[in-house]
Amino acid sequence: MNTSLHKSINEENIALLVRRFYTEVIKDPLLAPFFIQILGEDIHNEKWEEHLILLTEFWKFVALGYDEYKGNPLRPHLDISGINRGTFSVWITLFHHTVDTIYTPSAGEFFKQKSTDIATNFIRKLDL
C-alpha cells in the first residue's frame, strides 16, 4: 500500500482531490468539451479557479459539514446539452480513480459512495 495516501479527510486533501480530478477531466476526450465550452481550455484561468474553489467548498460541505458552499449543485447541469448516463459513468470512473491516488481505501470509500449517490441522484433528476 502507498504510505503517502491520506488516511483521513481534511480541507487540504479535499482541495488536492478537486484540483487533481479536474486536471484529469480537462484531458478526458468525453468530459473535457463540456468544461472547456463553459470554462475555457486553460485550467489556470479565472473561470476555472472560481469553479475549483466552488467545488472544493462543495466537497468540504459534503465531507466535513463546512457551510461555505452556497450553490445548487444540480442547477448548472440542467443547461448542459449532450449530457447523458455515459457522461456520468465516465465522470464517476475518473473521480474514483482520482480518489484512489489520494486516499487510503477506508478514507476514499466515503468519496466513492457520496459521488456515486450524487451522480445517481443527478441522473434521476435530469431524467437520463
Nearest Cα neighbor of 58 from 1, 11, 116 is 11
Going by pLDDT thresholds of 50, 70 and 90, the confidence category of residue 99 is: very high
Q: What is the pTM of this model?
A: 0.93
- Looking at residue 70, its pLDDT comes to 87
- Tell whether 55 is covered by a domain: yes
Tell me: pLDDT of 128 over 60. yes
pLDDT of 9-60, one tens digit each? 999 999 999 999 999 999 999 999 999 999 999 999 999 999 999 999 999 9
- Tell whether 2 is covered by a domain: no
- Tell whether 6 is covered by a domain: no
- In angstroms, the CA 101 to CA 96 distance is 9
- Tell whether 69 is covered by a domain: yes
pLDDT of 66-80, one tens digit each? 998 988 999 999 989
CATH number at residue 32: 1.10.490.10
- Tell whether 4 is covered by a domain: no
- Looking at residue 2, its pLDDT comes to 58
Domain count, the chain: 1
Tell me: pLDDT of 3 over 70. no
- Tell whether 5 is covered by a domain: no
Is there a contact between 119 and 91 (Cβ–Cβ < 8 Å)? yes
Report in angstroms the alpha-carbon separations of 32 from 3, 25, 37, 41, 74: 31, 6, 8, 9, 19
